[in-house]
Structure 1
Amino acid sequence: MLILSQTTRADARKNRDLLLAAAREAVAEHGTDASLRDIARRASVGIGTLYRHFPTREALLEALLNANFDVLHARADSLLASPDPGDALMTWLGELAAGAATYQGLPESIMNALADEESGLHASCAQMRSAGGRLLERAQQAGSIRSDVTLSEVIALTLGLAWAAERSEASDLAARLLSTAMYGLAARDH
């Protein structure tokens, strides 16, 4: 019985890995609304196996994106030591926009997950958002960024820029738009 249990766990890990690889491929091709049946087919497993591992589309997206969100969280922590808080925030927001543009539909999925505490993706998005909040607060305290701007507004702006960039032919559009947005966010002496 012990051998069967170890084999079953190994098969389950293998199926999960196959599903994640297939999901990366399908989501890269078709965006976050990629067919779950197609993902299961690509992984050579049944749709029931997909749902056993990932009961919702959000759970599958969370598994795909966890590594990206972990990197953004760690990056925010490392940028807290940057001598220029405004530049640190812009760097992090640029990385957020680039990461959000990885898959078609991802900016909208992140915004929806941040607004929906029941979403399987909410916790990962909220941790990433919290990390960015520390950078924004530091930039505001240093007088680099307007004090009347909220984190929700900055995140929405950045994800909106990523959404616009994913629909453009220009490869540098997100960076150009973010630079323009940062100019508008900059604190000004009156």
Structure 2
Amino acid sequence: MNGAQQRPLRADAARNRARLLDAATEVFTTRGVGVPTEEIARTAGVGVGTLFRHFPTKEALLEAVMVRRLEAIAARTAELAADAEPAEAFFDAFRLVIDQSAGKNEFNRALAAAGVDAHESLQQSSAAIREQLARLLAGAQEAGAVRRDLELPELIALLVGTTATMEQLGADTAARERIFDVVFAGLRPPTH
């Protein structure tokens, strides 16, 4: 990394970058990744030149949105682990991961189609989330709220599958709640 890349952004540049990421997250999530970058700049209230100074390509913007989302999930799951009872923290984190994953598959497909492998840039945040989920799972199991035979790879698979299911349901909140009820019932220890 050169010195210019290591320097912190000026306050106005940092605000612009944050506004661009906020706008891109909202627009890509609600309208899809096909929205032109000019629309993202307009929504953020900045010029397209400002957008391209921060994100030289649309793929760089998509990748930054994904990294930011994962960092937010990692931070929030850490807060849940520290502040809530184990069962509540686990189930809230499960819901959080699903809710924050909206559009993720579309982002991944768009990046892959452009020949971008975002795996490396997402690796650190993904590892932090996995670590938090492992802690939350262990705490919920110890508290008797989650079945003891569930392991982290299975939990990750359930999160991926539930995310895909929720994407199929769209905005039907009643159906989404039924899915959470079914999945959560399956995660709880069996009653005999």
> Is 1:105–1:163's contact at 8 Å kept on the other side of the alignment?
no
| CA displacement at 1:189 relative to structure 2 | 6.3
- Partners in 1 of 2:104 and 2:175 — Cα distance? 17
Partner of 2:80: 75
**What letter matches 1:44 in structure 2?**
G
- State the distance in 1 between where 2:54 and 2:75 align: 24
Paired residue for 2:155? 154
Residue 23 (structure 1) shift: 1.1
Contact 1:98 1:174 in 2 (8 A): no
The two structures have a TM-score, normalised by structure 2, of 0.67
Aligned partner of 2:177 in structure 1 is 175
Q: Which residue of 2 aligns with 1:51?
A: 55
| 2:68 aligned residue | 63
Specify the alignment match of 1:3 in structure 2: none
TM-score, normalised on structure 1? 0.68
Query: In the alignment, is the contact (CA less than 8 A) between 2:87 and 2:140 conserved in 1?
Result: yes
Contact 1:62 1:124 in 2 (8 A): yes
* CA deviation map 1:41-61 (0-9, x unaligned): 434123641335998332332
Displacement of 1:138 in angstroms is 1.9
User: In the alignment, residue 148 of structure 1 is paired with which amino acid?
Assistant: D
Find out whether 1:30 has 2:35 as its counterpart: no
2:104 is equivalent to residue 105 of structure 1: yes
Deviation for aligned residue 1:153: 1.7
CA separation of 1:75 and 1:53: change in aligned 2, threshold 3 A? farther
Whether the 8 Å contact between 2:74 and 2:125 is mirrored in structure 1 is yes
- Alpha carbons of structure 1 residues 55 and 13: separation in structure 2 relative to 1, 3 Å: farther
Is residue 69–residue 100 contact of structure 2 (8 Å, CA) maintained in 1?
no
The whole-number CA distance in structure 1 between the counterparts of 2:96 and 2:189 is: 22
How far apart are the structure 2 equivalents of 1:177 and 1:184? 11
* Cα distance in 2, alignment partners of residues 148 and 34 from structure 1: 42
Tell me if the contact between 2:37 and 2:48 (Cα under 8 Å) persists in the aligned partners. no
What is the identity, as a one-letter code, of the residue corresponding to 2:28? V
Query: Would you say 1:187 and 2:186 are equivalent positions?
Result: no
Between 133-142 and 54-63, report the one with greater CA deviation: 54-63
Tell me, in whole angstroms, the C-alpha distance in 2 between the residues paired with 1:146 and 1:34.
Answer: 41
CA shift, 1:74, in A, is 0.9
- Structure 1 residue runs without a partner (length 5+): 1-7, 110-115
Letter in 2 for 1:51: F
**Alignment size in residue pairs:** 171
Unaligned runs of 5+ in 2: 1-8, 109-116
User: 2:138 — aligned with what?
Assistant: 137
Structure 1 residue 35: Cα displacement: 4.7
